[in-house]
Amino acid sequence: MRVERTVTIQRPIEVFFEYLATPENDPTWAPAIRSHERSSPGPIGVGTRTRMELSLLGRTATYDWEVTEYETPRLLAYRTTSGPLPATVRFRLVPVDGGAATGLSHAVETEPRGVYYRALASLMPTAIGRILEGMLGNLKDRLEGKPATASREPGAAPSGAMVVGAIVVAAVAVASLLLLRRRRRSSKR
């Protein structure tokens, strides 16, 4: 499944791409990300590995990512290399307004596997879309020098990178409910 949202930010494409392609900046616009750092040496490019620590619903999780596409200043993509839900995050940038602004397309692709993730699949596009909208609002505010609105302050809304974590938590909840029902049915027999 693929979910995509777009935004136009009043910053030149080169400045915007440099900010976006620095994983250490992610916590400034994605509040649930505690840290996102390179775990392989050298500059960012295809093959670079990163490690992200995020917090969701009072729980902290760590995910490893790999840069799969990198074309400065127009394209950046990561894929998960660890975790129960495979995902790819892709950023496409285009100059607009004669180069004074940048259009950004932010897409998340994931393939729910297993019975529990598939059970949640119909809910995922709406949830992912809302998370992406909040993240892009934070990013726009940050790069345009605007104060964050109350709904966009750190900790107020989940980030797009939290999509994987949110889905995992929801899947665990659904799995727990299904297991409880099975136990109750088998104990009645």
Q: Is the peptide bond between 73 and the residue preceding it cis, with omega within 30 degrees of 0? A: yes
Q: Where are the domains of the chain?
A: 2-188
> Looking at the domain covering 2-188, what would its CATH class be?
alpha beta
3-state secondary structure of 53: strand
Query: 161-176: buried (b, 16+ CB within 10 Å) or exposed (e) per residue?
Result: bbbbbbbbebbeebee
Contact 34/56 with Cβ under 8 angstroms?
A: no
Per-residue model confidence (pLDDT) at position 125:
80
> CA gyration radius for the chain?
18
Per-residue model confidence (pLDDT) at position 159:
45
Per-residue model confidence as pLDDT tens for the chain (189 residues) = 899 999 999 999 999 999 999 999 999 998 778 999 999 999 999 999 999 998 765 667 788 999 999 999 999 999 999 866 778 999 999 999 999 999 999 999 987 766 656 666 677 788 778 888 988 999 999 999 987 654 444 444 444 444 555 555 555 555 555 566 666 666 666
Per-residue model confidence (pLDDT) at position 157:
43
Q: How far, in whole angstroms, is CA 125 from its chain's centroid?
A: 13
Per-residue model confidence (pLDDT) at position 147:
77
Per-residue model confidence (pLDDT) at position 141:
95
Per-residue model confidence (pLDDT) at position 131:
82
Task: Provide φ and ψ at 143, rounded to 5°.
Answer: -75, -25
